[in-house]
Structure 1
Amino acid sequence: MGVRVRNSRDDVVARALAVLDAYGLGDLTMRRLGAELGVRPSALYHHFPDKQTLLGAVADEVLARGLGGAPATPPGDLPWDGVVLEACRRVRDALLAYRDGAELVATVRAFGLGGAAALEEVAAAVATGGFDDDLVATASRALLHLVLGHTGEEQTHLQAQSVGAIGGEPRPDSDFDAAVGLLVAGLRATTPGARADA
């Protein structure tokens, strides 16, 4: 008789996401997750060969919940640079929805184990500018690095303030849009023939 699996893969990912949001990425361990699910940590390996693969699935779930699956259809009334800004905002919002969301997605992307939806979202937006494929790929990666780094710093600062690790006044309004705008301006300058009203 086969061993009955108590939790589905989706159950494990959902609980891991709850642990991430409650305790942070550093405390998302197989031991803690097993305790949360009422199973031994070894039972989790039925669904995931290692912790890194689990983190990839959790990152993909963060992005699926925040982005809704496929890249957004670009609004017809926005120029290409507006479409890019909206895509970057969508990814940022998805990351900010969960504690350590930016660090999680950056980590699994470095491992090559998940987080593809973030790049797909940005690349689909950049492609609306009529750039060649190589430039779309390079620009999209650069924009995503900005989104991950900016959002990660923002999350770290907010969390440190919330637990009293640092004092001081809240930071002024984010310069996220302005930072994306600088990269977009560089992209526009690189290809003077890019469609300005796409």
Structure 2
Amino acid sequence: MRHRRDDVVDRALAVLDVHGLPDLTMRRLGNELGVQPSAIYHHFADKQTLLAAVADTILARGGRPLPEGSWEERARASCHTLRDACLAWTDGAEVVATVRAFGLGARAPYDELVGVLTEGGLDPELAGTASRTLLHFVLGHALDEQTHRQAGSAGAIASDPTSTDHTSDFETGLDLVLAGLAVRATR
């Protein structure tokens, strides 16, 4: 059976969600699709290119339109959307952060934040730095949450993996970053 590019990405997402990033190999993905791993290279030059497509799909599926409102409200909504999209998939934050760090994809959240901040009157250079800072906070926080949940689920730490302690911490941290940016923007 011949698979389309979207079929490969969908199956990669399923493997990611069930087994995690360390077990998302070309060999396992080929087995899941019922093809030789080399057949995947028809659609993707290498695993990094596949992961870029996976990251972009995670972001697209988790995307939501931004609400009307101030730049602070819109930036907050964008950060929540990114966090929720990453947390919806096992190791989603790691995939998105890695792809972004390698410059292979996952640009949508950055582009969206830069647009929100420049439309809000921030200098474009400051908007770029602020967007990267917000992304580092959101992705780092989501990665920490996922790692904590997985360690709790595996019994590696004595913690309730469904605990929502991280949610209030996320809100407070986001408040701090946005408040600092608002002060800087008024200078």
Common fold by TM > 0.5: yes
Partner of 2:170: 176
Q: Name which of structure 1's ranges 111-120 and 123-132 shifts more when overlaid on structure 2.
A: 123-132
Q: CA deviation at 1:188?
A: 1.4
Instruction: Look up the equivalent residue of 2:118 and give its one-letter code.
Output: A
Q: What's the offset of the Cα at 1:85? A: 0.9
What is the correspondence of 1:63-102 to structure 2 with a 5 Å cutoff?
A: 63-67=59-63, 72-75=65-68, 78-102=69-93
CA–CA distance in structure 1, aligned partners of residues 113 and 93 of structure 2? 15
Distance 1:173 1:52, change over 3 A: closer
Q: TM-score, normalising length from structure 2?
A: 0.92
Counterparts of 1:58-137 in structure 2, within 5 Å, are 58-67=54-63, 72-75=65-68, 78-137=69-128
Q: Are the counterparts in 1 of residues 134 and 177 from structure 2 also a CA contact under 8 Å?
A: yes
Q: Aligned letter for 1:157?
A: H
In 2, Cα distance between the equivalents of 1:41 and 1:51?
Answer: 11
1:35 to 13, 31, 34: 31
Structure 2 regions of 5+ residues with no counterpart? none
In structure 2, what is the Cα distance between the partners aligned to 1:13 and 1:171? 30
Aligned equivalents of 1:99, 1:159: Cα separation in 2: 9
Shift of 1:173: 4.8
Q: 1:10 to 1:99 in 2, by over 3 A?
A: same
1:146 is matched with which residue?
Answer: 137
Pairwise CA RMSD of aligned residues? 1.5
Please state if 1:191 is matched with 2:180.
no
Cα distance in 2 for partners of 1:165, 1:91 equals 27
Instruction: Write the distance in 2 (CA, Å) between the matches of 1:156 and 1:83.
Output: 28
Bigger radius of gyration: 1
- The TM-score, its normalising length taken from structure 1, stands at 0.87
Distance in 2 (CA, whole Å) between partners of 1:121 and 1:192 is 21
Which residue of structure 1 aligns with residue 50 of structure 2? 54
Q: Secondary structure of the equivalent of 1:46?
A: coil
Check the 8 A contact 2:55/2:95 in 1, yes or no: yes
Matches of 2:3 and 2:159 in 1, distance apart? 44
| Structure with the higher helix share, 1 or 2 | 2
Aligned partner of 2:15: which letter? V
Q: For 2:159 and 2:16, locate their aligned partners in 1 and report how far apart those are by CA, in whole Å.
A: 26
Aligned length: 184
Counterpart of 1:87, as a letter, is S
Q: Which runs of 5+ in 1 are unaligned?
A: 194-198
Q: Which residue of 2 aligns with 1:196?
A: none
Q: Quick one: which of 21, 36, 47 aligns to 2:17? A: 21
**Larger relative contact order, structure 1 or 2 (CA cutoff 8 Å, min sep 6):** 1
CA deviation after TM superposition for structure 1 residue 180, in Å: 1.1
Query: Structure 1 segments of 4 or more deviating over 3 A?
Result: 168-171
CA contact (8 A) 2:78 2:109 kept: no
